Amino acid sequence: MSIWHQRWNANQIGFHRLEANPVLSEQWPKLSLPSDAKVLVPLCGKSLDLHWFHQQGHTVVGIEMVQKAINQFFEDASSVPTIKEMKDAKKYSLGKIHLYHADFFDAEPDEAQFDAWYDRAAMVALPSSMRPDYVKQLLNLTTRTSKGLMVTFDYPQEEMQGPPYALPDSEIEALFSEHFHIERLQVTDLTHEDGRDLTRCTTSVFLLARK
Ligand SMILES: C[S@@+](CC[C@H](N)C(=O)[O-])C[C@H]1O[C@@H](n2cnc3c(N)ncnc32)[C@H](O)[C@@H]1O
């Protein structure tokens, strides 16, 4: 059983927020997307950010491998989705919100390719060894003019075992610079607020636009 199945089973989901991420209302408009743009949310959990995208008029697609997270997303919204069986996935739809119960690395959502993507606690949920494949799959699933908003987390990796795993600027540069313009929109120092006893801890928001 994966660490994520264990965490969901034990309700260890401290990453889940009870409201949409304020970063979205502050920073998403900078992507200058039409409201009918299709948005991909990899490793989405049961994030309320999916509803936020839907409220903006977007078609939004989340990909999540733990069934319990998907069930809770719809239960929390007191909604019953329609369900479609696919080859290696199950698709849950409610209006223009679609959640795929699938492994992100081999997901083939009907709505691809996407105009935009949003990563909050997705890349940092993966160890460094898996990140090149994550970026490859992002490139597969998005258009050549796509843009992304990515929320990262950085700290001295030796001071804590992930997840979340540290995502330093040097690794962002190495992973994305070939295909994306990288712009940091925001950085916040969490060193004294995070409660994890780290000597340094920051969260940043990046805008990534395809070259
Ligand atoms: C730290 S949580 C973040 C969830 C969500 N983005 C949020 O902000 O609340 C990471 C999520 O990714 C899911 N996950 C991990 N690896 C995955 C994979 N390969 N494919 C799909 N989902 C995955 C986990 O089950 C977990 O719900």
Ligand 1 binding pocket includes 89 (Cβ within 6 Å): no
Ligand 1 binding pocket includes 131 (Cβ within 6 Å): no
Is residue 135 assigned to a domain?
Answer: yes
Q: What percent of the chain has pLDDT over 70?
A: 100
Mutate to test the pocket of ligand 1, among 4, 47, 108, 119 (most ligand atoms within 8 A of CB): 4
| Cα 177 to middle of ligand 1, angstroms | 24
Is residue 21 assigned to a domain?
Answer: no
Ligand 1 binding pocket includes 47 (Cβ within 6 Å): yes
Is residue 146 assigned to a domain?
Answer: yes
Is residue 15 assigned to a domain?
Answer: no
Residue 1 pLDDT: 86
Q: Which domain holds residue 156?
A: 3-7+36-210
Dump pLDDT digits (tens) for 134-191. 999 999 999 999 999 999 999 999 999 999 999 999 999 999 999 999 999 999 999 9
CATH code (residue 198): 3.40.50.150
> Looking at the 3D structure of the chain, how many domains does it have?
1
Q: How far is CA 206 from CA 34, 75, 103, 170, 185, in A?
A: 20, 32, 24, 13, 6
